[in-house]
Amino acid sequence: MRDAPADTPQPLIAAPGGFYLDAEHHLRLLSLNSAAGVTLTVTAQIMLASGEVVWFTQAHTPNTDRTSANTNVFVADGWLMNATIFVSGGSPRIGQTFARLDVIRGRTGAIITMASLLAGYVTAFDRLVWPQNAPRSSVAGRGVLRSVAGTDPAANTEISETVPTDARWRVLAIQVNLVTDATAANREVSLLIDDGTTVFARVPVGTNHAASLTRTYSFATNTARNTIAQDPVLNAPLPELVLGDGFRVRTVTTNLQATDNYGAPQLLVEEWIED
Amino acid sequence: MARLQCPACDGIYRDVLADGTRYFHTCPPIVSARVQRLGAWHVVPLADVQPTDVIRVQRGRAVVETTVLLMQPDDQRLDDRTAPRPNARNENVKGGPGPDASAQIAPGADPIVVPDSG
């Protein structure tokens, strides 16, 4: 960025590392979001060459599939005094709406990012303010707790849930029902976790599930294995694992029969956005 | 918040979850068993296994061949296979910086809307 013209008044309260924005330099708001109905607003306070201080406001609608959306904010030539990103619609929680404010060079074509002023999660209560807030990673701190209802598979089909694109999950608990048919064979359920292809963790429940029975399988961190086969709820410990997008949580069932039927799994996960 | 059925795997799911976030269905793998029919070994989907098919099972410490019909409760069927489902759908988006970031990885045929009571 070039220096401000010599006759430009210096801000009375200069932002640390203050930015002079001219015709080539602008602001860009980027977002990564998983929540529904969210809108963001960025405001910027600029001191013009005349010494007048003006406000710029720009609304922005994030995508809901965690992919990046961006809005350029074209401001007048002058010193950037402060900037704020806040939630102007919806009620995202920490871990759901990640926003970043960049200084960019250019309007179209090859736009170059010169600096990132702000980065972090915003909620209806928490906003990002430059220069007070330092940029943060989208996987820093705690994520959002989500209860995820998976797919109810057809008969003779294992459950399989995939971490969505651009999400990071810490799986805390999984519960699923299995109804066995009348075929006289003992089933044994194992939970498998893989990277989409290769298995890296396997948790066998260690209890047989006989014919014509409904059992609830409950995997959770910090739990012990249930050793009572007659109990309709079978517990098993879940390793503390952080999973990237495309990783899968699924079952493999010994002696699964043609009309054995799993219900929809319910997962408790801590989720971050990870681009 | 529609209740949908996947045309590839028949799984049922909601496209929007109770917390308002979108759900991206992916088809589970298909489970197959290795069976002997008319003297030849085949790998067939679990739903196609017949009572007269011969399978290999672990019975105690021994591995034996038996028909599906004569399988004992404590037998453990061997040689099951898990493989990607033909025409599997993956509603997850491609992501990345490209213009097709929000395109589905493998959309396949459109899912079918099913009633809530179904």
**Three-state SS sequence of chain A:** CCCCCCCCCCCCCCCCCCEEECCCEEEEEEEEECCCCCEEEEEEEEECCCCCEEEEEEEECCCCCCCCEEEEECCCCEEEEEEEEEEEECCCCCCCEEEEEEEEECCCCCCEEEEEEEEEECCCCCCEEECCCCCCCCCCCCCEEEEEECCECCCCCCCEEECCCCEEEEEEEEEEEEECCCCCCCEEEEEEEECCCCEEEEEECCCCECCCCEEEEEEECCCCCCCCCCCCEEEEECCCCEECCCCEEEEEEECCCCCCEECCCEEEEEEEECC
Secondary structure string (H, E, C) spanning A171-182:
EEEEEEEEECCC
Alpha carbon distance A171, A270 (integer Å): 7
Q: Does A270 touch chain B (CB under 8 A)?
A: no
Rounded to an integer, the average pLDDT of B66-86 is 92
Q: Report the gap between the CA of B84 and the closest CA in chain A (Å).
A: 10
Best CA proximity match to A29, nearest among A118, A155, A151 = A118
Q: Do A165 and B92 touch (CB under 8 A)?
A: yes
- Provide the sign of the torsion angle of the four alpha carbons A86, A90, A93, A99, taken in this order: negative
Alpha carbon distance A95, B15 (integer Å): 20
Beta-carbon contacts of B99 under 8 Å, excluding residues fewer than 6 positions away, are none
Which amino acid, residue A206?
Answer: G
Q: What is the pLDDT of residue A15?
A: 56
Q: Which tokens in the block code for residue A181? A: 């048919």
pLDDT band at B98 (very low <50, low <70, confident <90, very high): confident
Q: What is the pLDDT of residue A3?
A: 64
Q: What is the pLDDT of residue B6?
A: 98
Interface ipTM above 0.90: yes
Q: Do B95 and A66 touch (CB under 8 A)?
A: yes
Q: Which tokens in the block code for residue B75? A: 């037998």
Rounded to an integer, the average pLDDT of B41-62 is 94
Alpha carbon distance A191, A170 (integer Å): 15
Contacts of A70 in chain B (CB under 8 A): none
Q: What is the pLDDT of residue A11?
A: 56
Q: Report the gap between the CA of B43 and the closest CA in chain A (Å).
A: 15
Best CA proximity match to A28, nearest among A79, A138, A102, A80 = A102
Q: What is the pLDDT of residue B29?
A: 95
Q: Do A149 and B18 touch (CB under 8 A)?
A: yes
Q: What is the pLDDT of residue A9?
A: 61
Residue ranges for chain A with pLDDT beneath 70: 1-17, 229-230
Q: Coil, strand or helix: which one is B18?
A: coil
Strand pairing category for B3-5 and A214-220: unpaired
Q: What is the pLDDT of residue A16?
A: 56
pLDDT in tens, B14-35: 999 999 999 999 999 999 999 9
Best CA proximity match to A155, nearest among A54, A275, A261, A248 = A261
Contacts of A155 in chain B (CB under 8 A): 47
Rounded to an integer, the average pLDDT of B61-89 is 93
Cβ burial, residue A110 (10 Å; 0-12/13-18/19+): exposed
Best CA proximity match to A209, nearest among B41, B74, B6, B26 = B74
Task: Round the average pLDDT of chain B to a whole number and report it.
Answer: 93
Residues of B with CB under 8 A from a CB of A: 6, 9-14, 16-31, 45-47, 49, 71-77, 80, 82, 90, 92-95, 97, 101-102, 105
CB A46 within 8 A of CB A78: yes
H and E: helices and strands count for chain B: 0, 11
| Residue A42: how many other CB atoms lie within 10 Å | 23
Q: Report the gap between the CA of B44 and the closest CA in chain A (Å).
A: 12
Q: What is the pLDDT of residue A18?
A: 73
Alpha carbon distance A90, A96 (integer Å): 11
